[in-house]
Chain A
Amino acid sequence: VEYGPVRASDLPEYLKTHKATPEMRTVQFPLKDRLVLTPVELIHIILPTVIATILLYFLAGPLGALAAITTALTGTVLFPALLPVIPTHDFSTKGLILGEIISILFAFAFFTNSTMSFWENALVSLAILLVMPAVIAYLALNFTGCTTFTSRTGVKKEIFRYVPIMALMAGSGIVVSILLGIIEFMKVV
Chain B
Amino acid sequence: MFDSYLENTLEYHSDKCINCGRCTQVCPHGVFAEGEEHAELIQPVSCMECGACALNCPVHAIEVQSGVGCAWAMMNAALRGKDMDSGECGCGGEGGSCCGGNSE
Contact = CB atoms under 8 A, between A and B. Distances in A.
A154 B69 contact: yes
Interface residues of B: mostly helix, strand, loop or mixed? Answer: loop
Contacts of A155: 4, 69-71, 74
Interface in B1-37: 1-9, 22, 25-30
A183 B36 CA distance: 74
Contacts of B5: 89-90, 150-151, 153-154, 157
A26 B28 contact: yes
Interface residues of B, number: 35
A103 to B, nearest CB: 19
Interface stretch (A54-62, A124-132, A158-166, A171-179): A158-166
Given A26-B29, A144-B70, A156-B84, A89 B2 contact: yes
B72 A142 contact: yes
Contacts of A161: 4
A52 interface: no
Contacts of B61: none
A158 B4 contact: yes
A47 to B, nearest CB: 15
A159 B25 contact: no
A149 B46 contact: yes
A150 B29 contact: no
A35 B9 CA distance: 30
B26 A154 contact: no
B91 A159 contact: no
Given A22-B30, A26-B28, A152 B91 contact: no
A26 B30 contact: yes
B68 A152 contact: yes
A3 B22 CA distance: 9
A151 B8 contact: yes
Contact of B2 (A88, A142, A163): A88
What 8 A-B pairs come out closest when comparing CB atoms?
A: A145-B70, A154-B5, A150-B69, A157-B4, A27-B28, A89-B3, A152-B67, A88-B2
Interface of A: 3, 6, 20, 22, 25-27, 40, 44, 88-91, 93, 141-142, 144-159, 161, 163
19 contacts: A6-B28, A25-B25, A25-B27, A40-B91, A89-B5, A145-B70, A145-B73, A149-B46, A150-B70, A151-B5, A151-B49, A152-B9, A153-B8, A154-B5, A155-B71, A155-B74, A156-B84, A157-B5, A163-B75
